[in-house]
Amino acid sequence: MLSKAVVLLSLVALIFPMVFFTFASPPLLILKHDTPQDARFVRGLFNYYYTVVVIAASAGAVGQVAVGRIAAGLAMGGVAAFVFAVRRWFVPRMDALQARIAGADASAIPLFRRLHMAGIVLNLVQVAVVAWGMAKLAAL
């Protein structure tokens, strides 16, 4: 019984921030991204999202392995590693563009918007892969 609770809690802890971010981030595209405050808020949201998902996936991986679900633990560990790598690539690029926006570089605004949209699309792919993986692992 405890193993089922660990499995369920770890999946909910992983999928909840992913789905929340899927719905929270697209409305921010109405921002013009032309002020440092807009860029700082969007960057902060992405940074927070990636941090939460890495922690949830890591904890879930440990929990899955602890109850003997090695494949699920490796899958969640893979999610944690992937999101960690994406964060290390994505956030510095947002920081660089944010600095350019603060320096009144108008060419950085469309680049920041594209990066924002790319992050949303990447998140949708992550949610789809995790949902697909959950369905496959549930069938085992």
Give the domain range for residue 44.
2-139
| Three-state secondary structure string covering the chain | CHHHHHHHHHHHHHHHHHHHHHHHCHHHHHCCCCCHHHHHHHHHHHHHHHHHHHHHHHHHHHHHHHCCCHHHHHHHHHHHHHHHHHHHHHHHHHHHHHHHHHCCCCCHHHHHHHHHHHHHHHHHHHHHHHHHHHHHHHHC
pLDDT confidence bin for 139, thresholds 50/70/90: low
Check whether 2 has a pLDDT greater than 70. Answer: no
pLDDT (tens digit, 9 = 90+) per residue, 111-134?
999 999 999 999 999 999 888 887
pLDDT at 138: 66
Q: How many domains does the chain have?
A: 1
